[in-house]
């Protein structure tokens, strides 16, 4: 008997019934992971079911429409990204330190798949109103969190800017601009690209060069 190349074959052995909240979270985790590695447009009820070793009907029980699954998978991945970039556990650190860690993380290779996911979601959202709303919501939450961090830095005297939201937007535009090359082959590099996000942030936050080196 051959096995599925992408997941496990549903087993005939008795299964332990999971609580609805646990099962839903498992489906969402799997869909978000597949969105990162395969692309949002590749996520289907059958693909998620295959990876979980269950029948597609179980997925549609929790997510009757694949559009709903896609939007929630993107939201789940984006929320997890934001938490990883600005962990609540670091709330007691100084704004300067938190900003330095944020910029270091967002510029690292660990977030390349997330760059691809954002590219993917923004492209698909042109044709999918529900996904467009989900993308806009996540963008707004990221802006709010980063603007709040900058405002805290202004309050403590670590950052200097008359418009924290404008500084946030300029930093995010550079991050998104570099992220737009996530699908390109890594055969071209330049030292300026490696430090562009940090130097932009330092400039717009009134900091000396190197102040945001983690």
Q: What is the CATH number of domain 20-66?
A: 1.10.10.60
Confidence grade of residue 16 (pLDDT, cut at 50, 70, 90): low
Dist. CA 80–CA 133, nearest whole Å = 18
The per-residue pLDDT for range 113-170, each reduced to its tens digit, is 888 899 999 999 999 999 999 999 999 999 999 999 999 999 999 999 999 999 999 9
Domains in the chain: boundaries:
20-66, 74-204
Confidence grade of residue 15 (pLDDT, cut at 50, 70, 90): low
Q: Which helix (H) or strand (E) holds 131?
A: helix 129-156
Res 176: pLDDT:
92
The per-residue pLDDT for range 65-74, each reduced to its tens digit, is 999 999 999 9
Of the ranges 78-87, 141-150, 180-189, which is most confident? 141-150
Find, among 77, 97, 87, 106, the residue nearest to 175 by Cα. 106
Bigger pLDDT: 194 or 146? 146
Bigger pLDDT: 18 or 154? 154
Q: What is the DSSP letter of 9?
A: P
Phi-psi region of 125 (alpha: psi -120 to 50; beta: other; left: phi over 0): alpha
Res 13: pLDDT:
44
Dist. CA 146–CA 126, nearest whole Å = 26
Are residues 116 and 36 in contact, defined by beta-carbon separation less than 8 angstroms?
yes
Query: Has residue 10 got a pLDDT over 70?
Result: no
Q: How far is CA 171 from CA 77, 164, 178, 194, in A?
A: 21, 11, 11, 14
**Percent over 90 (pLDDT), the chain:** 71
Query: Has residue 5 got a pLDDT over 70?
Result: no
- Strand runs (DSSP E) across the chain, as ranges? none
Are residues 94 and 156 in contact, defined by beta-carbon separation less than 8 angstroms?
yes
Res 102: pLDDT:
97
Dist. CA 187–CA 76, nearest whole Å = 32
Superfamily of domain 74-204: Tetracycline Repressor, domain 2 (1.10.357.10)
Are residues 101 and 214 in contact, defined by beta-carbon separation less than 8 angstroms?
yes
Are residues 191 and 96 in contact, defined by beta-carbon separation less than 8 angstroms?
no
Instruction: For residues 192-204, give the mean pLDDT.
Output: 92
Res 2: pLDDT:
42
Res 3: pLDDT:
43
- pTM value? 0.84
Q: How far is CA 93 from CA 34, 67, 97, 160, in A?
A: 34, 39, 6, 18
């Amino acid at each position: 008997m051959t096995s599925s190349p992408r997941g496990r074959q549903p087993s005939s052995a008795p299964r332990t019934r999971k609580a609805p909240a646990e099962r839903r979270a498992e489906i969402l985790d799997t869909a978000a992971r597949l969105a990162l590695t395969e692309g949002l447009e590749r996520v289907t009820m059958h693909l998620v079911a295959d990876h979980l070793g269950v029948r597609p009907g179980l997925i549609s029980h929790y997510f009757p429409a694949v559009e709903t699954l896609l939007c929630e998978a993107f939201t789940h991945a984006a929320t997890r990204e934001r938490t990883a970039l600005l962990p609540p556990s670091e709330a007691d650190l100084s704004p300067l330190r938190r900003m330095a860690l944020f910029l270091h993380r967002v510029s690292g290779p660990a977030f390349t798949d997330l760059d691809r996911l954002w590219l993917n979601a923004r492209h698909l959202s042109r044709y999918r109103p529900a996904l467009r709303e989900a993308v806009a919501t996540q963008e707004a939450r990221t802006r709010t969190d980063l603007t709040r961090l900058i405002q805290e830095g202004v309050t403590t005297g670590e950052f200097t800017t008359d418009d924290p939201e404008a500084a946030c937007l300029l930093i995010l535009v550079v991050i998104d601009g570099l992220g737009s090359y996530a699908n390109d082959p890594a055969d071209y590099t330049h030292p300026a690209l490696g430090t562009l996000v940090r130097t932009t942030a330092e400039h717009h936050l009134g900091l000396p060069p190197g102040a945001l080196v983690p």
